[in-house]
């Protein structure tokens, strides 16, 4: 489905629009305050951008360092070219462990490769432990709509109703957030204590020490990372950071940008396995999944710097109106519009680079300074050149207009035609416009005709 | 000071009033104004729509036509930003009107008089690509008789975005209807801005809704001496 068609559907859901509008407005204001507290915010952004750029420039070397360090600390490193390979690795570990259930801490990479579905096909159930992910998982018709708050499109009343039909069947939860959280806690606690294997994502993988980091708010992730006997972490290869010290930059940038907090409640860091503490087995799966291909695009590759803070979603006026589901990807909003078509191939999502007005609000907030509007424009160019036939009506109109603008004589002739409602200038944008908005009366005289009349040909 | 006008193809063809106001205003402030008739289009529409290759000739053309001037002034924040970024040889000499008035001429009181209730929509490109800040408001505040009222959600995009308004018309309209609601809430007679493209979008909805609210380019208010 094109973005336009998908957006038309979600735009009709007034409740969804209200829920998202309310949530994003709130977090926008909080973020502004949280960021304003740091006098060196702009320098932190510069540092974040520089660290990411240098990590990407030396990616093969960093990944080899990471592999060596993880192995030295008693972990096992697996390389996966694509989602299918990664899914197969996870499934085979689960089979060896002998479990038909795994618990998960929220991970976009596993959503990207549809791990849950792949495991289900092997008879293994993957249970989400992040509250918002759980909410989405409990409703088979629902889809996540935000990278940090996947259930942002649901309000409390909807969630309560869902819980009363599923994990809290037969109970009446009332309207308190705490009652809803308690229902989820009871449901999950038993799983934390009995399921032998967990799957996590990674916010960072530090090449220097082999340390993996996950930041989260609820503590459910911490349970997954420490209680089960076997821990498997799926990490996109772009998540690697060269050195331990780099964390000081990102642990400041990330929480303020994502939840508008000074510090996130839980930061879990682990290095391989530790005798008599935590999981007995640790597996790190390094996923390519199209990323090396993105690296080849000199402009587009900056999309790989993303630390998934979701600040760009929360300020995007398009996202605010249509919600995450219209992007038909685990990466919605501005970052999704540049990342999804690159990861999947432009031909798989050719309308996403146009899902923006280029207003620039996303670039303004991005903690690692990804110039999203410029990448959108770059990808539009690639779609036009690589994917579309040269003879679309739009391509012809653009060609026609470029020709009309090439000389003064042709341009003035086109202006005369436009006033009669004909020619390349008149045809440019009219049909989709007047259905909803009036067009101004065409002026009796162009500016240049007025100038010539008043001042002569100069 | 001698300045060249870069009126933009959009204003030239559809909104000549903005260009005429710029001439009136700059001449009142003592500038010698020239309009190089060879100018056509800066190529922004092509680049932003994915047809950057069609714009290369337009960038070269722009550099040729305007190469001989020290200062080039435009009533479009959006086109100014485009030229500044893409036409290397002279990008630094191109100014959006309010930047030019405040930074180069050093004036905020331009001797205008406009006794009406006005609200101002700062366009995305003037805010984020040019960083014009509060320059337009500083100019408007000095206008005699004006009743300048704040626009809620001013920094938010109106949903125009060039071809976005047509390609994603439904989303564009959802954004526009919020912008128009905020404009109506101000009970202003006039909604002003530094880009006529956004104003065409906002004005199109104001007119369709028979609201009676007019849109005007900021130059038209600064040139007024009612
Ligand atoms: S693109 Fe930037 S703002 Fe958006 S999620 Fe990624 S890091 Fe955050």
Is the Cβ–Cβ distance between B75 and B114 less than 8 Å?
no
The CATH number covering residue A154 comes to 3.40.50.10420
Q: Which residue among A335, A355, A387 closes a domain?
A: A387
Locate the chain B residue with the closest alpha carbon to A405: B40
Euclidean distance between CA atoms A261 and A253, whole angstroms: 10
- pLDDT the model gives residue A424: 66
Pair A126, A92 in one domain? yes
Pair A158, A64 in one domain? yes
Separation of A310 CA from ligand 1 center, angstroms? 5
Pair A267, A320 in one domain? no
Grouped pLDDT means (10 residues each) for chain A, 458 residues: 93 90 93 96 98 97 98 98 98 98 93 96 95 88 86 88 86 82 88 96 98 94 95 98 98 96 95 95 98 97 97 97 94 97 95 97 98 97 83 82 90 84 62 74 90 87
Q: A396 and chain B: CB distance < 8 Å anywhere?
A: no
Residue B29, burial from CB neighbour count under 10 angstroms (0-12, 13-18, 19+): middle
Query: Of A405, A379, A406, A383, nearest to A395 (Cα)?
Result: A383
Q: Which helix (H) or strand (E) holds A154?
A: none
Euclidean distance between CA atoms B62 and B42, whole angstroms: 6
In a domain, A139, yes or no: yes
* Domain of A438, in residue numbers: 393-455
| Mean of the per-residue pLDDT values of chain B | 96
In a domain, A439, yes or no: yes
Is the Cβ–Cβ distance between B158 and B187 less than 8 Å?
no
- pLDDT the model gives residue A37: 96
Q: Which residue among A336, A352, A387 closes a domain?
A: A387
Confidence (pTM)? 0.94
Number of domains in chain A: 3
Mean pLDDT of B77-91: 94
| Atom 3 in ligand 1: residue holding the nearest Cα | A366
| Atom 4 in ligand 1: residue holding the nearest Cα | A312
Q: Which residue among A360, A387, A414 closes a domain?
A: A387
- pLDDT the model gives residue A396: 83
Probe ligand 1: pick from A310, A330, A376, max atoms within 8 Å of CB?
A: A310
- pLDDT the model gives residue B100: 98
Pair A424, A311 in one domain? no
Probe ligand 1: pick from A258, A312, A365, max atoms within 8 Å of CB?
A: A312
Q: B210 and chain A: CB distance < 8 Å anywhere?
A: no
In a domain, A422, yes or no: yes
pLDDT band, very low/low/confident/very high, at B83 (cuts 50, 70, 90):
very high
Pair A275, A303 in one domain? no
Pair A236, A311 in one domain? no
Residue that wins the pLDDT comparison between A386 and B60: B60
Of A123-127, A186-190, B24-28, B134-138, least confident by mean pLDDT is A186-190
Pair A102, A116 in one domain? yes
Helix, strand, or coil (residue A342): helix
In a domain, A54, yes or no: yes
Mean pLDDT of B24-32: 97
Pair A153, A274 in one domain? yes
In a domain, A235, yes or no: yes
Are the beta carbons of A381 and B20 separated by less than 8 Å?
no
Pair A306, A448 in one domain? no
Q: Which of residues 13-72 of A touch B (CB under 8 A)?
A: 17
Instruction: Please identify, by atom number, the ligand 1 atom nearest to the C-alpha of residue A372.
Output: 1
Separation of A332 CA from ligand 1 center, angstroms? 11
Separation of A363 CA from ligand 1 center, angstroms? 8
Mean pLDDT of B73-97: 95
Locate the chain B residue with the closest alpha carbon to A326: B171
């Amino acid at each position: 489905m094109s973005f336009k068609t998908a957006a038309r559907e979600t735009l009709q859901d007034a409740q969804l629009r209200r829920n998202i509008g309310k949530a994003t407005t709130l977090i926008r204001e909080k973020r502004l305050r949280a960021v304003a507290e740091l006098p060196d915010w702009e320098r932190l952004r510069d540092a974040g951008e520089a660290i990411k750029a240098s990590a990407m420039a030396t990616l093969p070397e960093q990944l080899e360092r990471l592999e060596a360090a993880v192995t030295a600390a008693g972990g096992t490193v697996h390389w996966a070219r694509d989602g299918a390979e990664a899914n197969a690795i996870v499934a085979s570990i689960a089979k060896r462990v002998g479990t038909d259930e795994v618990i998960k801490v929220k991970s976009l990479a596993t959503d990207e490769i549809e791990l849950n579905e792949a495991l289900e096909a092997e008879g293994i159930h993957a249970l989400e432990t992040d509250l918002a992910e759980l909410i989405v998982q409990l409703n088979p018709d629902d889809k996540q709509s935000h990278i940090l708050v996947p259930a942002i499109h649901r309000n409390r009343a909807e969630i309560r109703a869902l819980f009363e039909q599923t994990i809290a069947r037969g109970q009446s939860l009332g309207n308190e957030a705490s009652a809803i959280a308690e229902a989820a806690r009871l449901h999950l606690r038993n799983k934390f204590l009995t399921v032998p294997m967990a799957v996590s994502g990674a916010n960072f993988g530090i090449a220097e020490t082999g340390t993996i980091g996950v930041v989260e708010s609820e503590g459910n992730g911490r349970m997954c990372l420490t209680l089960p006997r076997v821990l498997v972490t799926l990490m996109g290869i772009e998540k690697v950071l060269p050195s331990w010290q780099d964390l000081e930059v990102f642990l400041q940038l990330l929480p303020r940008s994502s939840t508008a907090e000074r510090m996130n409640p839980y930061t879990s860091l682990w290095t391989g396995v530790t005798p008599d503490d935590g999981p007995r087995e640790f597996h790190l799966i390094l996923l390519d999944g199209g990323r090396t291909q993105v690296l080849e695009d000199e402009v587009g590759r900056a999309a790989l710097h993303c630390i998934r803070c979701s600040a760009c979603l929360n300020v995007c006026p398009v996202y605010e109106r249509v919600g995450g589901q219209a992007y038909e990807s685990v990466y919605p909003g501005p970052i999704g519009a540049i990342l999804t078509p690159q990861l999947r191939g432009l031909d798989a999502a050719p309308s996403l680079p146009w899902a923006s007005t280029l207003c620039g609000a996303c670039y303004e907030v991005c903690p690692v300074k990804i110039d999203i509007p410029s990448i959108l424009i770059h990808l539009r160019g690639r779609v036009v050149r690589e994917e579309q036939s040269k003879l679309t009506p739009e391509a012809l109109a653009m060609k026609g207009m470029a020709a009309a603008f090439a000389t003064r004589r042709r341009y003035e002739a086109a202006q005369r035609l436009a006033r009669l409602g004909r020619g390349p200038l008149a045809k440019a944008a009219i049909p989709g416009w007047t259905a909803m908005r009036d067009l101004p009366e065409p002026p009796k005289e162009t500016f240049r005709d007025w100038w010539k009349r008043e001042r002569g040909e100069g | 000071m001698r300045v060249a006008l870069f009126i933009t193809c959009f204003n030239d063809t559809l909104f000549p009033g903005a260009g005429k106001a710029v001439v009136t205003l700059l001449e009142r402030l003592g500038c010698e104004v020239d309009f190089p008739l060879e100018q056509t289009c800066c190529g922004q529409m092509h680049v932003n729509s994915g047809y950057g290759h069609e714009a290369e000739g337009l960038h070269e053309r722009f550099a040729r036509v305007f190469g001989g001037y020290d200062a080039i002034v435009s009533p479009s924040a959006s086109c100014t930003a485009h030229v500044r970024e893409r036409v290397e040889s002279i990008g630094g000499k191109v100014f959006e009107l309010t930047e030019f008035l405040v930074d180069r001429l050093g004036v905020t009181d331009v001797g205008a008089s406009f006794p009406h209730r006005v609200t101002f929509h700062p366009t995305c490109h003037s805010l984020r690509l040019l960083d014009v800040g509060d320059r337009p408001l500083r100019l408007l505040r000095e206008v005699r008789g004006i009743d300048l009222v704040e626009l809620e959600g001013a920094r938010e995009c109106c949903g125009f975005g060039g071809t976005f308004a047509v390609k994603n018309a439904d989303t564009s309209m959802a954004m526009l209807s919020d912008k128009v609601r905020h404009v109506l809430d101000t009970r202003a007679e006039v909604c002003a801005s530094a880009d006529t493209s956004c104003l065409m979008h906002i004005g199109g909805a104001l007119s369709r809704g028979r609201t009676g609210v007019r849109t005007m380019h900021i130059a038209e208010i600064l040139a007024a001496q009612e």
